[in-house]
A and B are shown apart, each in its own frame.
Chain A
Amino acid sequence: TIGMVVIHKLGQTAAGTSTNGIKFKIHGRVGDSPVPGAGAYADDTAGAAAATGDGDILLRFLPSYQAVEYMRNGEEPTVACQKVISRIQKYYPNFFGAVICANVIGSYGAACNRLPKFTHFTFMVYNSLKNHPTVEKVDCI
């Protein structure tokens, strides 16, 4: 799954996802990706976010909506992402998932749920302070 967040220089936000889902899914299964507020969410007045991972679990917690609402309440993007991961961890400590977050002034962050084989999450950033697409990494919590 790719989840993408874009903030235009004039402040317009957009978000999106595209995926072929999980392997060997039951015919007809849809995960979090195409559901607004789950796979991705954007609101010019607060920011935008996108999620990736076990879509059957993520879908139940609307992670990208929740992250945007945390940013609306003043949380920094990294903290907003971490709080979303923590919410899910309480119920599903071993879920596979990560969230990327960006606020309306262009700050960004990410968070992921630490698993034995998933200790950091890699994402891409390109903004006017960089002169090429840059790989960044966060340690999972």
Chain B
Amino acid sequence: SSSLPLVLNTWPFKNATLAAWQTLLSGGSALDAVESGCAVCEREQCDGSVGFGGSPDELGETTLDALIMDGTVMNVGAVGDLRRIKNAIGVARKVLEHTTHTLLVGESATIFAESMGFINEDLSTSASEALHSNWLARKCQPNHWRNVVPDPSKHCGPYKPPGISVLNEPTHKVTGDLHGHD
């Protein structure tokens, strides 16, 4: 324990490390340090893999995931597929502190975030929009589909499982006999 306190983080995101360390020096808890360190990367869009304006999904939207865990009382707050809120780790901290839940997801997590005072705003930027339009121009390559038609290694979607009849055909036999039932 001679080397404590300790801040350790993936990738050379130095500003995040520094922010966490300074939080500890100014009397913050380990939880405060994790939140402030990760929030730096959300603001600075660390290598494009954190925060707004990165990794657009197939529809071009940037969605965020974040987690914060307190190892003293094993309490956790997390958000998944968070939409239109920039400070994902801040929302995760509110889940930890103001709910008995662990993980909130999607549009509902956005509504929770707004109730906690976070701003609902577009997470796209010209960079993420360019990424997405280039992807479309490259016939949606690469993508995360498999075992579907059309061939996902050559075409954009929409996709469906091979061999399935066109969806608007009824998936059961219509007899018209209203008494033929079990």
Contacts and interface: CB of A to CB of B under 8 A. Distances in A.
B69 A2 contact: no
Contact of A27 (B4, B52, B59, B70): B59
Interface residues of B, number: 77
A26 B21 CA distance: 36
Interface in B61-98: 61-72, 74, 76, 78-81, 88-89, 92
A15 interface: yes
B12 to A, nearest CB: 5
Given A15-B34, A21-B55, A127 B9 contact: no
Contacts of A21: 55, 57, 63-65
Contacts of B46: 2
Given A19-B65, A34-B65, A44-B71, A6 B102 contact: no
B3 interface: yes
Contacts of A29: 57, 81, 144
Nearest to A48: B71
Interface residues of A, number: 63
Contacts of B39: 18
B55 A40 contact: no
B51 A106 contact: no
A117 interface: no
Interface in B1-26: 1-14, 16-18, 20-21, 24
Given A18-B50, A40-B67, 10 more contacts: A9-B4, A12-B29, A14-B69, A15-B34, A16-B89, A18-B39, A26-B58, A28-B106, A123-B8, A133-B7
Contacts of A48: 69, 71
A39 B68 CA distance: 10
B14 to A, nearest CB: 5
B16 A2 contact: yes
Given A15-B69, A21-B63, A41-B69, A126 B21 contact: yes
A20 B79 contact: no
Interface in B108-163: 123, 131-132, 135, 140, 142-145
A141 interface: no
26 contacts: A2-B38, A4-B10, A4-B34, A4-B38, A6-B30, A7-B5, A9-B1, A14-B69, A18-B88, A19-B66, A20-B50, A20-B52, A24-B55, A24-B58, A25-B55, A25-B58, A30-B105, A34-B80, A40-B69, A52-B10, A122-B12, A123-B8, A123-B12, A124-B11, A125-B8, A126-B17
